[in-house]
Amino acid sequence: MQIAPSLVLAWSAFIATSVVGTAHGQTFATSTLVVADTGQVLDILPFDWNGDGDLDLTLALAGGSVLRLRNPGVAQSWTGGIGIGGTNAMSELEYTDLGGPGTGRDLVIGYLFGAPLGWSASGTNNVLGPVQLVSAPTSFLAEIDVADVDGDGVEDVVCMTASPPTIGMVAGDGQGGLTPYVTLAQGSDLRGLETTLGASKGDLRLFDVDGDGHLDITIAGGTEGVLAMKGQGGGSFGPMELLSPVPIAHEHLFADLDGVAPLDLVVWDVSGGSSIGSRVDWAAGLPGGGFAAPVQLDGVVGRGPTVIADIDGNGLADIAYEKAGALWCILSNGGGDFTAPEWLGECGDALEIEVGDFDADGDVDLVVSTEVPDPFVPFSQTFPLRIHWNDGVPQPSAGSGLVGTPRQVSVQAGGEQVLTLDSGGIGDFYVMCGTATGVLPGLDIPEVGLNLPLNADAYFSYLLGQLPNQPGGIAPMPGSTFGESGFLSGTHSVRVRVPPGTDPSLVGLTLHHAFVTFDFGPGGLGALVFVSNAVPLTLVP
């Protein structure tokens, strides 16, 4: 299909006079009080710790204990009790399998001070055993992540400590325990991290950045930006190197925000130095392990925690956060296109936010720990824990099967995007559709319970207006080619052509294309049976 010169004026006029809707169907209007006062929460870990198939909660408390809450599958009936007692504040929790005789639900504990790390093996009836501490020449833990980094089949713990600042590893011994701490980087090797870790700024992840099959250590919190130590196999890592020049950050994640492989980098950036000036930046993942220049997301100026999850069910990661006592989110439409911030509901001043499908309805819910001051008793407060339910009906599953490269084409030089169709054998006849105004809310097809992730606009109508086209190919038309349809036989390719010298006023426009399939029998075209994902194409200078 070719972008028609005759549509340039129509597109420009349509885009100038239309408001792109951001409705997504999801609300968080209802919530359940799980615990009226947990004590101050430092970490929330959603995990099915009792193995019954329901997503439970484990909380790290500032008072030095772990609170485990059991989800019985009924929203109002959470039960549980103190899982582990202690005296040191527990800053971070991770479940793992340390290779012992238990259930594979051993708990690794990071401490704020004193011994930096400990573990508790899971025993009979999922009861946690006594905490055992790791021998380490450091204290005041900042962050941990858990994975098998040395390739021996047993998970290990990679740590970032703050006093003194180090990056280190504690290997699983295969017998249900952890070996002594091994320092991987310290001092000047940290490239500026040594000045920020002591202030408890920083975040650590294990992620294969360059796709070589070895997990890398990625760290936010340095003065240069997000750093990485590339994995070399066998538990060894290369020197610290710059991954992305995002300023001092509190947290980072790798997630799909634009619908294009590889995963993108999302950073909760607090470089403004103010508790009311935090922001979110993202950098698109590039083939080979690099990232595009970081971009600040407009309108996201929150105070509280930030989480990354697919809020609206379109398969792309969205960003939820607390600001001024309310939950907000920005939604990803794909191709680097995001909605304006949307209000999700009141929550109070949040200490921690996590995500999970706690009622098993297919929607992502938010669990929020808040701090509520006592208006009559100075310096007194309670810490309620609530689950805010995603009440919206999820978008019907649209399927998959469309891949497109490249994702950008120059209007000056022209070019084409190749779309490869594969419905997995569902349907006999396909029709390619497109939009110039985004993928949400899309078009519901209630007769078959599907949602086409394209908005109806002038471009959408024009494409369908050119049908029927020559089955199995592209039929020439005066000045342009549109209305692609045909019979499927395995995979099929469609080319979206942008002619050289296309009107430069269209720079920045993102088109999305998707296809649907129909059964075809003796009586002709039958029922619609498949809807693909949408693939973006952005017009650049």
Work out the pLDDT band at 92, boundaries 50, 70, 90: confident
Q: Domain map of the chain by residue range?
A: 88-245, 401-539
Decide if 170 contacts 160 (C-beta within 8 A).
no
Which of these ranges, 112-126, 155-169, 242-256, 461-475, has the smallest mean pLDDT? 461-475
Buried (b) or exposed (e) across 173-194, using 16+ Cβ within 10 A?
eeebbbeebebbbbeeebbbbb
Q: Which of 25-29, 218-222, 252-256, 492-496 has the highest mean pLDDT?
A: 252-256
pLDDT value for 273: 37
Determine the Cα–Cα distance for residues 364 and 152; give it in Å rounded to an integer: 34
Which of these ranges, 404-408, 440-444, 466-470, has the smallest mean pLDDT? 466-470
pLDDT value for 331: 83
Determine the Cα–Cα distance for residues 286 and 211; give it in Å rounded to an integer: 11
**Of 67 and 341, the one with more pLDDT:** 67
Work out the pLDDT band at 250, boundaries 50, 70, 90: confident
Give phi and psi for 525, each to the nearest 5.
-65, 130
- CA proximity to 203, closest of 124, 145, 274: 145
**Of 535 and 247, the one with more pLDDT:** 535
- CA proximity to 519, closest of 389, 408, 426, 407: 426
pLDDT at 201 over 50: yes
Q: The pTM is what?
A: 0.66
- CA proximity to 279, closest of 291, 267, 289, 288: 267
Q: Which of 229-243, 339-353, 398-412, 472-486 has the highest mean pLDDT?
A: 229-243
SS3 for 433-487 is EEECCCCCCCEEECCCCEEECCCCCHHHHHHHHCCCCCCCECCCECCECCCCEEE
**Of 107 and 301, the one with more pLDDT:** 107
Report, as an integer, the average pLDDT of 206-221.
90
pLDDT value for 469: 47
Q: Which residues contact 193 (CB under 8 A, 6 or more apart)?
A: 160, 165, 167, 202, 219, 221, 222, 227, 240
The predicted-structure confidence for 29-85, as pLDDT tens digits, reads as follows: 577 888 888 888 989 999 988 888 889 999 988 877 888 888 877 545 576 655 666
- CA proximity to 533, closest of 456, 420, 425: 420
Question: Which H/E stretch holds residue 13?
Answer: helix 8-17
Encoded tokens for 279:
């922001």
Calculate the alpha carbon distances from 136 to 97, 150, 200, 282 in Å.
21, 19, 19, 35
pLDDT at 352 over 60: yes
Q: Which residues contact 28 (CB under 8 A, 6 or more apart)?
A: 327, 344, 345, 366, 388, 389, 390, 391
pLDDT value for 322: 82
Round the average pLDDT of the chain to a whole number and report it: 76
- What is the CATH code for 88-245? 2.130.10.10
pLDDT at 179 over 70: yes
Determine the Cα–Cα distance for residues 291 and 284; give it in Å rounded to an integer: 6
Helix, strand, coil shares of the chain, percent, nearest 5, are 5, 45, 50
3-state DSSP call for residue 124? helix
Encoded tokens for 50:
């009792």
The predicted-structure confidence for 260-277, as pLDDT tens digits, reads as follows: 888 999 887 654 433 334
- CA proximity to 252, closest of 317, 325, 299: 317
Identity of the amino acid at 470: Q
Determine the Cα–Cα distance for residues 399 and 402; give it in Å rounded to an integer: 9
Residue corresponding to tokens 């050289």: 500
pLDDT value for 82: 55
pLDDT value for 472: 34
Residue 375 burial (CB count, 10 A): 7
- What is the CATH code for 401-539? 2.60.40
Report, as an integer, the average pLDDT of 115-140.
76
pLDDT value for 353: 92
Pairing of strands 318-323, 326-330: antiparallel
